[in-house]
Structure 1
């Protein structure tokens, strides 16, 4: 039997996840807070990862492009679909010198189970207190919103996607990477 508190928490999380599906493209109306500016250094971070390597920092990927995607919760339908699409296209990202990093408020153990369950070969980072999600304007009190950021090989934030659609998002990111890398 599920407790009333757990039920209400799940209901609220579901509502917020549904809200994050809307594509709020204006920073003034973006859920989660102010967005970091484009063409400026991306907010730095260090977070624990599911890979068993301890912590991962954005600076670890200098010289590579980074797709930093925030998502609400491991094992939910939209988040699973989004992760599967990134995994399905992983070779395309690697060929473009791009590292995918997923971030949510779930802990390292949840991320490890999610990666094992879905065969994910890219790191998921545990932002359990929401500090990094807040720095990227992707925090909704207790979950990360579905936002994605492209960071170039010098650590500069080059693109942001707010309120993404999981089924087609990886294709959108790859198309935008092609434009940015050929400019």
Structure 2
């Protein structure tokens, strides 16, 4: 178990969690073809988390256009994720980290020692963390900033190929 936070330039740790549909999610299975926007959030159906999820939903096509998949993680149950997905028509994967092991693996901090933090990681196809955004109080910033960073990563790749 890791105690320090994952930083830009670090290799993202592999993990396996249950998706809201009950299937297994493995990070490196997705990274074979896409960048991943992995966001940890405190709790389904709370005000800030709902705003953030709906903003990811509303911008989902833009993330797809940038070659990225959005994945949300909280400690909520699969059943809670299913309700959250259904109530807000979320097109992306939600993962249930019941025991908080993946949150610990990434070193996602808790606010005041109690409240699970809100941190977004952008992981490129080679498994390298390219960006980390940590802000519990500004959930919408995670979405707009992630899109900007993905656009920059893609521009950088195009320039390297030219």
- TM-score norm. by structure 2 comes to 0.87
Greater Rg, structure 1 or structure 2?
1
* Cross-structure match for 1:60: 29
The one of 58, 73, 76 aligned to 1:88:
58
The one of 131, 156, 162 aligned to 2:128:
156
Tell me the SS of whatever aligns to 1:39: coil
Q: How well do the aligned residues superpose, as a CA RMSD in angstroms?
A: 1.5
Conserved in 2, the CA contact under 8 Å of 1:50 and 1:112? yes
Deviates more, 1:123-132 or 1:134-143: 134-143
* Cross-structure match for 2:159: none
Ranges in structure 1 where 5+ consecutive residues have no aligned partner: 1-32
- TM-score norm. by structure 1 comes to 0.77
Ranges in structure 2 where 5+ consecutive residues have no aligned partner: 157-162
* Cross-structure match for 2:160: none
Q: Distance in 1 between matches of 2:141 and 2:12?
A: 25
Count of matched residue positions in the alignment of Structure 1 and Structure 2: 150
- Looking at secondary structure, tell me which structure has more strand per residue: 2
Return the offset for 1:118: 0.5
Q: Distance in 2 between matches of 1:159 and 1:110?
A: 28
Return the offset for 1:139: 4.8
The one of 71, 96, 103 aligned to 2:41:
71
Conserved in 2, the CA contact under 8 Å of 1:68 and 1:148? yes
